[in-house]
Structure 1
Amino acid sequence: YERWDSPLYLVGESYGTTRAAGLSGYLIDRGIAFNGIVLVSSILNFQTARFHKGNDLPYILFLPTYTATAWYHKRLPEDLQASLKDALREAEEFAIGEYASALALGDRLPEERRKQVLSKLARLTGLRPEYVDLRDLRIHIWKFCKELLRDERRTVGRLDSRFKGIDADPSDSDPEHDPSMSAIMPPFTSMMNHYARTALGYKTDLVYEIFGGVKKPWDWGSAGEGHPDTSEALRRALSKNPYMKVFVASGYFDLATPYFATEYTLAHMGLDPTLRGNITTAEYEAGHMMYIHGPSLGRLRDDVAAFLSNT
């Protein structure tokens, strides 16, 4: 298209943020620099989101989103229900402070201190203290999704924890499905098929695959031996091109790529202090796809427009 002299931007969402960050580092090494990158619901360092044995990081970084979810469903104590921002601030401080140090001690955690952490964890998650104790202070995402509204015989969503689901067996330990995905997929399928047939004039009996199996054939190379992480590629791109800017959008109710995990990743890139201002973050009272929430869509549009005008 003969557009080599035009501004260049990358936009990635979810797994697309993994690709966008990796691509920025790959292309800068080949002489192609970007003006800006927009990351929506980011996952760059997979250690922050993989509940593997011995990896306590996700338990810490998912906690504020558990708090946001419990707040939305009115499961927090009265003082925390008063303000989402205040509740999140308390959850964040507890997560990276008292909670993180308690998990680091493992079986060496003194019993009295364990009781204190357990009580605060129950307060910030809306879960029963007995259940938190049973889980050894470590709440897996699927356990949380199943347990929070168990007394209502309802589950909460992973992509967007504002959504409620109904399972055939309320006694199971994990949800049968993600109710937010179940709610979102049908309108997207209908919309895309309608758009293809009416606006594009493309008619086919082929099934429109929302996911299309894009995850399964990935070749992680040596990164597959541990937790994949493309944040280093993004750091390299920013270091080699200090004029590049990055905008990062996250949803408070996103249990797939929690906002606090994104903040952790960005804070652990080893970025030069002079470049930290190149990254702008924004949070929205919505989930993984914050643009399905009307007010958040408007904010996101304005935020991205402002970002583009400044790059």
Structure 2
Amino acid sequence: MRKILLAGAVAALTAMPVLAAPDEENTDKTTAETPADAIVPQVRTKDLSGTFGGQRISYTATMQEHVLKGEDDKDEAVIVTTSYVKDPLDTSRPVFFLFNGGPGSGTVWLMMGAFGPKRVAIPTDGTDDGAPPYPIVDNPDSLLDVADLVFIDPPGTGFSYLTDDADPKDYYGLNPDARAVAKVIRLWLNENGRWNSPKFLGGESYGTTRSAAVVNQLEGNTYNDVGLNGIVLISTVLDFALDANVPGNELPYITYIPSMAATALYHGKATAPSTEAFVEEARQFALGPYATALLKGQDLPQAERAAVRAELSRFTGLSEQFLDNADLRVTPARFYKELLRDRGLTVGRLDARYTGRDYDSAGEFADNDPSFYGIDAGYTAAINSWARETLGFETEREYQSIGREPGQYWTWEPEGIRGGDHYMNVAPYIGRALRENSGLAVFVGQGWYDFATPFFAAEYSLNRTGIPQDRVGFHYYDAGHMMYVRDEDRQKLSADLRTFIRQQLQ
């Protein structure tokens, strides 16, 4: 979304304390001598161990504030990273930098749901996370066996914040945000002596947009000095024209059809031998008869309209009368409300497996997204418990899992992309990086039931001119935006990424 909730999911059972050896202590490496008006960055470390990918690994967890200064050398932003580095230090190991999206989302979702050494355990079957306590459990699917992990909370997210001396416009926007994240990555490499380590960059949702913009800062624009081995895009949004349901723009209707087909099949509103087969049928219909019909506009012959309407009904599970009333163009918001109206239910946006019950069954818009309110409390509880109680991070600030401040100032203009600033499309950044770095490859992970960043839109964005196709690989999962909330898909995602990382090191 421009307002994409960068995403995550989790939830309910009984709280389990994170155990540490009796002699483990939090250590504060705060610098002792600094100017009186300077921010003293907090650094908390803890030695821990766990089993990841079948390997027993000792690691150091470090939660650290990085201070970014303005041109007048005043402290402007405090950016928090949480890193997990295998002991003993091995600089030949890859470093994987990760963040979520929003653009105001903290990295809680990827850290406490997918790849961190601990995760919050919520139901995986599309039911909500309920009430606390929420169990925080070992995460054998963490990628610590193949890479050191650095989770970044960009400006205005998580515990990261701007000072009173900062102008929000210098940090909140596609390129200002990317420059700040790129600067933090370079600082981390400096401080940890990891410049020659293999490097991977990954984001979820708007975090994939950020990934493209950060790659442009690291390899193609501001610095040109940080080579990457891999880019990981989870629930991808690169071309925002595909999310613009405005009169005259037919692309969103086309790219949502396969997601609607997968959802209709999941909820028993369509029939097919498999999700993959039905989705492929829907792709071909969307690109062929359906796209042709929309492009003909009011010149569409009635017989052709009737044939397309019947097929559209078969794929979407919606009645031909409804589709006729909508002029064959169904927005996602209408689909959430209409698909299961006869059952008095709505379906989720982030994950259409989830269902909700509105105040009533009238109207055309759902009251809320059941796939978000079904997971958010568990994640927020987990990150605060882990950061404050286990890692010993001290702050009076609230953790911004979905912060609103960045969105109040956000600017979307890309820079250096052919075609100008007519709309936001950062896929060309990835194409340029692939063309100029022969050792770079892209991993794309998509859920069938994700309407925030539909998989067909990701496919469309990444097969445009100028993007080498031999180093872009797609992987699909039987869940939604945060596919890792489903146990089977978290395990599959972890295994797929292990394979990707190892292949890039060969």
TM-score, normalising length: structure 1: 0.94
1:67 to 241, 244, 261: 261
Q: CA deviation at 1:203?
A: 5.6
1:24 to 190, 215, 219: 215
1:71 is aligned with what amino acid? Answer: L
Query: CA offsets, 1:151-209, max 9 Å, x none?
Result: 11110000000000111132111111111001011111121122123212236564332
Q: How far apart in 2 are the matches of 1:202 and 1:12? A: 24
Task: Check if 1:53 corresponds to 2:244.
Answer: no
1:43 to 237, 243, 254: 237
Q: Which residue does the alignment assign to 2:365? A: 174
Q: How far apart in 1 are the matches of 2:465 and 2:477? A: 23
Trace 1:247-266 onto structure 2 (pairs within 5 A).
Answer: 247-266=443-462
- Tell me if structure 1 keeps the 8 A contact 2:347–2:354: yes
Q: How far apart in 1 are the matches of 2:233 and 2:446? A: 9
Query: CA offsets, 1:99-141, max 9 Å, x none?
Result: 0010000000000100000010011000011000000000100
Task: Check if 1:125 corresponds to 2:321.
Answer: no
Deviating more after overlay: 262-271 vs 200-209:
200-209
Query: CA offsets, 1:81-104, max 9 Å, x none?
Result: x32122111111100000001000
Gaps of 5+ in 2: 1-191
When residues 270 and 6 of structure 1 are mapped into structure 2, their CA distance, relative to the original with a 3 A threshold, is same
Q: Which residue does the alignment assign to 1:268? A: 464
2:495 to 288, 302, 306: 302
Q: Which residue does the alignment assign to 1:218? A: 410
Q: CA deviation at 1:25?
A: 2.2
Equivalent pairs, count: 305
- Tell me if structure 1 keeps the 8 A contact 2:432–2:466: no
Q: How far apart in 2 are the matches of 1:266 and 1:43? A: 10
Q: 2:233 aligns to what SS in structure 1?
A: strand
Task: Check if 1:5 corresponds to 2:196.
Answer: yes
Gaps of 5+ in 1: none
Q: 2:269 aligns to what SS in structure 1?
A: coil
Deviating more after overlay: 222-231 vs 176-185:
222-231
Q: How far apart in 1 are the matches of 2:197 and 2:307? A: 57
Q: CA deviation at 1:227?
A: 2.3
Normalized per residue, the structure richer in strand is 2
| Structure number with bigger Rg | 2
Q: CA deviation at 1:251?
A: 0.3
- Tell me if structure 2 keeps the 8 A contact 1:231–1:269: no
Q: CA deviation at 1:9?
A: 1.2
Q: 2:473 aligns to what SS in structure 1?
A: strand
- Tell me if structure 2 keeps the 8 A contact 1:22–1:231: no
Q: Which residue does the alignment assign to 2:381? A: 190
- Tell me if structure 1 keeps the 8 A contact 2:447–2:478: yes
Q: 1:98 aligns to what SS in structure 2?
A: helix
Q: How far apart in 2 are the matches of 1:206 and 1:23? A: 27
TM-score, normalising length: structure 2: 0.59
Q: CA deviation at 1:210?
A: 1.4
1:146 is aligned with what amino acid? Answer: K
Q: How far apart in 2 are the matches of 1:74 and 1:222? A: 42
Trace 1:271-290 onto structure 2 (pairs within 5 A).
Answer: 271=467, 275-290=468-483
Q: How far apart in 2 are the matches of 1:225 and 1:171? A: 40
Deviating more after overlay: 147-156 vs 164-173:
164-173
1:257 is aligned with what amino acid? Answer: T
Q: Which residue does the alignment assign to 2:430? A: 234
Q: How far apart in 1 are the matches of 2:351 and 2:376? A: 13
Q: How far apart in 2 are the matches of 1:53 and 1:123? A: 25
1:46 is aligned with what amino acid? Answer: F
Query: CA offsets, 1:237-280, max 9 Å, x none?
Result: 11111110110100000011011110111111422xxx321111
Name the structure, 1 or 2, with higher relative contact order (CA <8 Å, separation 6+). Answer: 1
- Tell me if structure 1 keeps the 8 A contact 2:236–2:446: yes
2:227 to 5, 22, 33: 33
Trace 1:79-98 onto structure 2 (pairs within 5 A).
Answer: 80=272, 82-98=273-289
Q: How far apart in 2 are the matches of 1:207 and 1:172? A: 36
Q: 1:310 aligns to what SS in structure 2?
A: helix
RMSD value, Cα = 1.5
Q: Which residue does the alignment assign to 1:103? A: 294
1:38 is aligned with what amino acid? Answer: V
Deviating more after overlay: 60-69 vs 3-12:
3-12
Q: 2:358 aligns to what SS in structure 1?
A: coil
Deviating more after overlay: 300-309 vs 21-30:
21-30
- Tell me if structure 1 keeps the 8 A contact 2:219–2:225: yes
Q: How far apart in 1 are the matches of 2:266 and 2:459? A: 22
Q: Which residue does the alignment assign to 1:159? A: 350
